[in-house]
Amino acid sequence: MSFTVAVDVPVPMRDGVALATNVWLPDGPGPFPALLVRTPYGKDDAGLYGNPKLPDVFALVEAGYAVVAQDVRGTSRSPGTFVPHTHEGPDSLDTLTWLAAQPWCDGAVGMWGGSYMGFSQWQAAAHDVPALRAIAPVMTSADPYAAPWRSPGGALSQDAVMTWGTLSALRNLRRGLEDGRGDPTDAGALLADLSEPPSLHEPLPIAGRAAVTRSLPWLGQVLDHPERDAFWREIAAIDHGERITVPALHIGGWYDVFVGETVRSYTTLRRRGGSAAARDGQRLVIGPWSHADGTDLGTYPDRSFGLAGSIKTAGITEEHLRFFDRWVRGRPGDTPRVRLFVMGADEWRDEPDWPLPDTRYTDLFLDGGGRAGTAAGDGVLTRDVPAEDATDTFRYDPRDPVPSLGGTVLAAAPGAYPGPADQAAAETREDVLCFTTPVLRWPVEVTGHVTLVLHIRSSTPDTDFTGKLVDVHPDGRAILLCEGIQRVRYRESLTEPALLAPGTVAELTLDLGVTANVFRPGHRIRLEVSSSNFPRYDRNTNTGATIATDDADAVVVAVNHVLHGPVHPSRLILPVIGRSPSEEDRA
């Protein structure tokens, strides 16, 4: 294989700024179809070319594609100031227009890339650019409010916001210091926070992060907009599905911070895509992976998925090539629409669509005598509507939140990690309610969207309720599958908060995300309910005021109640797949 690379090609934007761009051209006369990636992490960084979650650039070039890598505005070798999301739409459109006009490009362009690199793809896809034929967003979101910065239930994704925001602020600061701008002491403060997660997350108020917001004012805007208002809707491509006319290859991980939105983007465009190609050309691949690097082998301290779970054996490059050959080059091809790694069975499976056509949404009701605190309590999950009403009560103290153990965290404290972590330590806390099925006699497959309906009461005008779906192994390990949170003030609307009258009962619907897991015989299904999951989500201060500006002296302890029984049917709704004998079938 031979190719040429042009480095730091200036690509002009509409306002006169020229963005630094590398162009890899295959050997040959051309013209070639082009594949564009736009990154804030450095187009010259080896991580862009050796990340197993992304396609192998050399393989793309060898297959006859021109590969174009660009530093987004204000990063690495591109001039300007980096303001997340602000310039990605117009800059992507200008770059695509420039690409289509180059003599070495045949006018057909695809976009690829993961995480922030996916935001540019969604912004471009929501506009009419004839050159753009397909996108391949990996572990990213078309709705930045829902993921990664906030959540479907309205809580702040504090781990993601503070970790990524502080890293981005440090990059901006270093860039400014090179030009004689900025305060050098801020660099020490930012580095200290990144090296010591407690100092990054624990101080209140959350908005009191001057060193970060001086170099990245955008973070202050995220905190200033807790509702899904115009600030968020302006960058939410998901709101304009009917304008998106290109197919998309969605790649995600069951323990990725973006996984819920990866699936929602797929299902939205299957229904509302603006062309037949967009509706028919959606492709979904999800493996047992987290967002962080270092999980390439599919093996975690508390759970291994075997060699089949390795992202290195998942054929990510081949997935991209098949997809781009079909939709950028127009070559005929037929691949399964959905490819999933099913945990528990620990195997890959092709499916015709998502949700799976044979999904049976099954209610498991919360039951017990009102002493569900800790895994040793009396909380039960049952298919039968409970005969009697009961209430479980716990105290939620924001100064002593339930710690995040694995799951969809973006980063992790020393000794912790994202992914399928054992929840046993959290299940010893009396502010963690545990509801568990009897030991299963037959396998039960749960693949799809998991929902929790809770009937609640609180002593405070606002608080949070959290839920986790857990696979309890015969050896006692309680392995997290998926999780979610609902901020009570947003129980009816993410745009119009409504405080709760203390002592009144309200029904909450929690989005616990998505999973694919076979609960094997000898295992048990468990639901954990609490009011915090920190620092995955910010702590609700329970005051009903602006959470981001509440200091430590303002926080209030909430006495929270979960009601269950025939009058208040709190329940876990599981997407059960009925192809093999299940506990329900054999009962």
Residues classed as catalytic: 115, 256, 291
Helical (H) or strand (E) element with 447: strand 444-458
Amino acid letter, residue 101? A
Biggest distance spanned by C-alpha atoms of the chain: 77
Distance CA 63, CA 132 (A): 19
How is 388-418 classified by DSSP, letter by letter?
Answer: S-EEEEEEE-TTSPPBP-SBS-SS--TT--S
Distance CA 339, CA 350 (A): 5
Helical (H) or strand (E) element with 88: helix 88-100
The 3-state DSSP class for residue 7 equals: strand
The 3-state DSSP class for residue 63 equals: coil
Which residues have a Cβ under 8 Å from the Cβ of 462 and sit 6 or more positions away? 487, 488, 489, 499, 500, 540, 542, 543, 544
Cα–Cα separations (whole angstroms), residue 276 to 110, 129, 239, 269, 442:
18, 17, 18, 10, 42
Distance CA 251, CA 399 (A): 37
Handedness of CA 42, 46, 49, 52 (dihedral sign): negative
Which residues have a Cβ under 8 Å from the Cβ of 10 and sit 6 or more positions away? 18, 19, 20, 21
